Amino acid sequence: MNKSKVIQEVLETEHRWVQAHRDLGIEIIKGIMHEDYTQIKSDGSVARRAETLASYASGARHWDYAESDQYEVKIYDNIALLIGRWIGRGENAGDKFDYEARFMSIYVRTSGGWKLIAEQSTPIEAPDL
């Protein structure tokens, strides 16, 4: 296994994921999500694949800006752990949002490529001065 090539594959998948969010490319998002996808939200609630896809398909969300960076990728056989920073601005169901979060995504290598099986994010709070 060429570790740097595998890391590049995972990052390419992550970049497709981010682009699909910006474009609300539901089919691309669906294609990257593993059937067992689980998201732990910043409030501690859990969302599964169907619920998450439905929230994208509702048309209630749009992004003015969405990007991820500051990547750290660890490879464990067919599992990739990706830690990074997410920055997003837009509107969801009439509520404006503008935030940064530290996220952890777990990808699993399948016969169809790298699939996102789980993710969790924690808002990055500005320090009190």
Q: What is the pLDDT of residue 126?
A: 73
pLDDT at 123: 92
Cα distance between residue 110 and residue 62, in whole Å: 30
| pLDDT surpassing 70 at residue 128 | no
* Domains of the chain by start residue, with CATH: 3-123 (3.10.450.50)
- Show the tokens assigned to 51: 């619920």
Supply the pTM of this predicted model. Answer: 0.90
Distance of CA 88 to the CA centre of its chain: 11
123 token code pair: 């808002």
Strands 113-123 and 95-110 come out as: antiparallel
pLDDT attached to residue 56:
80
pLDDT of amino acid 60:
77
Read off the pLDDT of each residue in 1-24 and give the average, rounded to a whole number. 93
